[in-house]
Chains A and B, each alone.
Chain A
Amino acid sequence: MELIKNILYNTDKVLKDFYNWSHNLWVSFNLPVILLDIIFYLLITAAVAAFLVFNALFIIYYDRKVAAKFQVRYGPNRVGYKGILQTLADTIKLVIKEDINAEKVDKIIFFLAPFLVFIPAFMVFLVIPFGKGLIPADLNIGILYVLAITGLSVLGILSAGWASNNKYSLIGGMRSAAQIVSYEIPTVLVILSILLLSGSLKMGDIVNAQSSITKWFIFMQPVGFILFLIAANAEINRAPFDLPEAESELVSGFITEYSALKFAFFFLAEYTNLFLASAIATTLFLGGWQGPFLPPFVWFIIKTYLVVTFLMWTRWTFPRIRVDQLMEFSWKYLTPIAFINLIITAIIIKFV
C-alpha cells in the first residue's frame, strides 16, 4: 500500500531508489556502469514510445467520439465496449494492407519521409514533464530544444510532398513549409514572454514557477495562451489550419500517395503532435503536473486532454481558412499582438 502510494505520488524518489539499488548490484558484479545507463535510457525510451502509441490509439478514438458529439451522432460504437477497440481494428487493417509505391516516386526520400515526420514529434517528449520527476531529461535548454525539434517536422512533410512526384502532394508540402515557418514566430514570441516570467528555459523550472493555481501563467498571459493555442494548432496542421491536406483542393496533400504502414505513421505523427502541442500548452500555461489530491501524472493527463478537447472543439467549429488569409493572419495579426504582449510583459516585470 505504501509502495503504491509512493509510486503514484513520489515517482521520482522510487525511480531514483530503484536506479541506486540496481547500480549497487551492477557494481558488485564488476560490470561497466555505462552499460547500465544505456539499458536505463533504452527502458525510458521504450516506456515513452509505448505510452505514445497507446495514447495515439486512444486519442484517435477520443477525437472521433468528440467529433460525433459535436455533430449530434454516436460515433464508433460497434467494436468493443462503446467502440473502444475501433482504432485498434483500424490499425490492424492499415498494417495488413498492401504497401503501394507509385512508380515514379523518389524511393529513398519517399520511404524516409514518414519517419522524418514522426521522429521529431517523438524526440520532443524527451523534455516533457509527465509528472513529478517524470521527465526523461530535464535539459537546461528545455523549451529551446522543443522549438528546435518541432521545426524539423516540416522537413519530413516537405520531403513527403516532393518525393511523391505529384502536384497535389508538392503543393501540400510547400504550403505546410510556409505555414510552419510563419506560425513559429508568434509561438516563439509567446514562449519568450513565458520565459520572462519563469526566468528559466528548463521545463522543470517552468512548472515549479507555477506552484499554485493563482501563479499559473494562463492568468498572467491570457492573450498569450490564446495566441499559443492558435499558433500551435497551425503548426501541427490541424483544422482550421489543415491547408497542407485540404481534401477539397489537394486530395490529401502530402499523404496522397502513401498507404498502409507509411500512412499509419503520418496518422500517428499527426495525433502525437496534437498531444504534444497540448502537453506543451499544459506545461507552459496550466501548471504542468501540479494539482491537489490526484497523482501528478493523472493531473498532467487531465489538463492535457482538456486542451486537446478545446482544440477539437475549434476544429469542428471553424471552416478551413484560405491560403492568402493564412499568411495574413499570422503576419498581420498574430505576430504584432504577440510582440505587444511581449513588450507589455517586459515592462510590467521591469517596473512592478
Chain B
Amino acid sequence: MFNYIKNIITGIISLCDGLSVTLKHVFRKPITLQYPEQKPDLQLRFRGRLVMPIDPEKNDNRCTGCMMCAKICPNHSIMEIEKVMEDGKPKPKVKKYIYNFGTCMFCNLCVEVCPFAAIIMSDEYALADENKEKFILDLVAERYNLTGKKLNWWKSKFKKEPAEEKVQK
C-alpha cells in the first residue's frame, strides 16, 4: 500500500518534470537554417572547390607552374599545367591550369604544398551538375576574384617574394 502511493506520487512528479522540459523548448528559437533563402555562415578554412584567385596588387594569378600541386594530388584532379617563360622575368607564368573537381576530394594538400599560395579552397559548395564535362575547369582562364574576409586571410598567407628581398638587401 505504501509502495502504491509512493508510485503514484513519484509518477506525477516525473510526469510534470518531463512536461516542464518540453515546455522550455517551446520558447526556444528554431535553429533550422532555411537553406535556399538563408545561406550558412562559412568558416575561413571551409574547403569548397579549388580556385586560383587574382592577386589584386599584380592583377594576375600568383602561379609559377612549379607542378608541386599536380604531383601531390592523390586523385590526379589537377590534370594539366602548361607554363611559359616570359623574357626578362625570373619566374615562369602559367598559361593553362586544368582542374577536375569531379574527382577532387577536397583534401587541401595542393593548397598546403603551394610555395606561393597561388591556389586556395573557395567558398563554393553547391557544385552538382548533370554534365560531367562542366567539372573540368581552366582555373587560369577563369580569373576568380576573392572578396571580403577570405581575401584578407588569403593575403596573410603570402610570403615575401625572393626578388623583393634581394632588392632590399
Contacts and interface: CB of A to CB of B under 8 A. Distances in A.
Interface stretch (B24-32, B91-99, B100-108): B24-32
Nearest to A332: B4
A72 B33 CA distance: 12
B22 A72 contact: no
B30 A74 contact: yes
A332 B1 CA distance: 12
Interface string A57-72: 0000000000011111
A29 interface: no
A313 interface: yes
A42 B60 CA distance: 82
B31 A318 contact: no
Interface stretch (B13-21, B61-69, B123-131, B148-156): B13-21
A208 B12 CA distance: 32
A26 interface: no
A69 B23 CA distance: 9
A314 interface: yes
Contacts of B147: none
A333 B12 CA distance: 12
A318 B18 contact: yes
Contact of B19 (A69, A317, A332, A337): A317
A5 interface: no
A67 to B, nearest CB: 11
Interface string A328-346: 0000110001000000000
Interface residues of A, number: 15
A21 to B, nearest CB: 49
Interface in A296-352: 313-314, 316-318, 332-333, 337
A72 B11 CA distance: 26
B25 A72 contact: yes
B18 A72 contact: no
Nearest to A66: B26
Contacts of A73: 30-32
A72 B26 CA distance: 7
Contacts of A313: 19, 22-23
Contacts of A314: 19
B60 to A, nearest CB: 46
A72 B28 contact: yes
Contact of A69 (B8, B26, B31): B26
A212 B107 CA distance: 72
A72 B21 contact: no
B33 to A, nearest CB: 10
Contacts of B31: 72-73
A337 B7 CA distance: 13
B59 interface: no
A332 B8 CA distance: 11
Contact of A74 (B8, B18, B32): B32
A71 B24 CA distance: 11
Contacts of B21: 317
A314 to B, nearest CB: 7
B107 to A, nearest CB: 34
A321 to B, nearest CB: 11
Nearest to A333: B8
A314 B29 CA distance: 21
B10 interface: no
Contacts of A71: 25
B168 interface: no
B32 A316 contact: no
B34 interface: yes
Contact of A316 (B7, B22, B30, B34): B22
Nearest to B12: A226
Interface of A: 68-74, 313-314, 316-318, 332-333, 337
26 contacts: A68-B30, A69-B25, A69-B26, A70-B22, A70-B25, A70-B26, A71-B25, A72-B28, A72-B29, A72-B30, A72-B31, A73-B30, A73-B32, A74-B34, A313-B19, A313-B23, A316-B22, A317-B18, A317-B21, A317-B22, A318-B15, A318-B18, A332-B4, A333-B7, A333-B8, A337-B8
Interface of B: 4, 7-8, 11, 15, 18-19, 21-23, 25-26, 28-32, 34
Given A68-B30, A313-B19, A318-B15, 9 more contacts: A71-B25, A72-B30, A72-B31, A73-B31, A314-B19, A316-B22, A317-B18, A333-B7, A333-B11
